[in-house]
Structure 1
């Protein structure tokens, strides 16, 4: 009986596809089911890492859809000013709210300084608002911009970031825990939940179905953020808690790809965290992805998904030694991402 692996391509073998090529040349995409053109209107949403994709799309001459004016340094430069959408449940509830299928019971929280914030995007704008009425008026306009994102895009790139979530009594998923940026009204309680594979799968598949209902031609590219958790509310150490979270998200993304022909998975997580990278794509804090890592990810993305991309990436500069657990100022300026999750540590006493 002949060896059934004899006719398999090189990318099916670890030695040929991962061990032998130099780390920067490993390309873990076997086949892209579709490509994007400069005429596409590409929407971006998700965790902090999704902001890099938006920035590099523009640098490559592709159309990054933006339906709401604002400062990318404040809102992350996503397609609308929704800020970080860490979980599939957040995405689903945002879509339902935009189309009148859900109304959050707790939509306005108050900061210690007395200013009010939109609980679904508590750091946009940084100044907050003077009254709850102002918050709600601005959110109505924001939801109109959200609808334009889903209806006008020809492709949506969504980066899954977390399984850990804070849920309101009505099921609404919030980007940060109460007390990190602001507090919900007195008497309102949120509960922590580490979403399992069944819940994440259901949320993600439902969100993709919602998009297809309002925009049947839109394609979807799913990625998993390689950025570890800032902190965990689970009983686990933050390292295995991170691996659990990313594993669940990766499985859910794969099931979506197998369910829908118009959905693809792009392995940004594998490019950054795989053994071939030897850890060099992380900054000294072992969490932030360096510009070299982003360039490696976007090089593979361009090769497979951007038809006719012309941008040439500059060779990465050698890393400099800095104090462990910190990010040097130049690296921090280069990263240019807005990450609501980082407010967890920033708000701790003594910080």
Structure 2
């Protein structure tokens, strides 16, 4: 049975579409992530999957007809089963893994066919955690309405840093622009790659840097113009997709059209060098659930600092992160600072400060095919 939201919200913007990018692998969540169940389909924090929670947040703002999910073609049926309220044609399967730039061009072409060049597109990942959903909807409304009036601008969302994080990209903010409703806007002075610790500390102290959370808003023609300037082959694909979608012949042509695109991110291909980029300062809580250690931010710790899902018991153990099963007891005695993850056929145990090395483990050792996350 799929997750059925209680109903559409009351804002309902006109001429605005949202695109949820759900093609990622989430390898850092092995052994729960597998080829048939990547990160966005995990129930990491409750009864709903990450992708269901993302779409539900958007339903406060948009009718379901204007919410699209772009995923791997092998996951299309699974997405439709999870969220049967989405129109079938709004769940789009990528014929090949090409990262987020071709994904954005594909979605923009489809939206152009349905809503025209002036349609505003919200582009966002499927696997972020946001609890203050009303604040998110309010910010997206502010910025979408501004984008409708400014066809040349692209908007992104920047999160005020709370620590010198080295796992996020950064955006440097320049002069303050006219606010969009309650949302502060700044001119972007450029993107910065994930820094080392010393650089991250300097960014935090300097005060003008924001975390890049990967959300973008723009009119379709703004994206097309930047693609035409920076990566013409993507702009060409966008227009071709639009024409094919209008003629009803996209499905047969998409594999060859999409397959010949280069693999690259939307940040690198377009956003880092966009001529008119504004940063909307985040007004909601945000967390990129990027590894098992992120669960500590969203689960209630016991008196020893342990957080756990599933059956768990401990003696003299501290600061554990446990993701278990409802019918499988994880018991710990006298250990500290570990990540322990169990599934019916695999168990992961690692020090919390080594959790980012799961991808290295998977690449280094020849796991049996059924235990590999992605074949």
Greater strand content: 2
TM beyond 0.5: no
Please give the range of the TM-score, normalised by the shorter of the 2 chains: under 0.3
TM-score, length-normalised on structure 2?
Answer: 0.25
TM-score, length-normalised on structure 1?
Answer: 0.26
